[in-house]
Amino acid sequence: MVAKVMRIGIISRENYVKRTIAVAKGLYKPRKDEPKIWFETLKSMAQILSSENQDLLKLIIDHKPRSLTELEKISNRKKSNLSRTLKTLERYGIVELPKKDGRLIPKVIATDFKVEFGLHFSQPT
């Protein structure tokens, strides 16, 4: 498996709004290497990339389960818990959940993470 690096940014809600408005007005053009996923706090990022979720991602990579039922057996986690966790990870672009024959097949997209943050969002003048 080829490692895919996901760039993650930490930015306050206020600065995220300022950034979004600046982008919409054409006052700020995001760099190609800028994060695509943003969290409001390190704590919120840590909840998504918790040790438990990292272990789950490793299980998926190593075992390549062909369904949530199969993942339930190898992870010792209930299907409902797995489904909720995987849907959250999917929203952040970390996993994909394609359907095949009516079954969701978990696939890890992002394997490595780079976190970027600062205390201010400054738009170019």
Q: What is the band of 100 on the pLDDT scale with cuts at 50, 70, 90? A: very high
Q: In the chain, what percentage of residues exceed pLDDT 90?
A: 77
What does the pLDDT read at residue 110?
A: 93
- Taking each helix axis from N to C end, the angle separating 79-91 and 68-75, rounded to the nearest 10 degrees, works out to 110
**5-117 under CATH 1.10.10.10, yes or no:** yes
pTM reported for the whole predicted model: 0.81
And the tokens for 109?
């997209």
Across 108-122, average pLDDT: 81
Instruction: Say what the alpha-carbon torsion angle 98, 8, 18, 13 is, to the nearest 10 degrees.
Output: 80
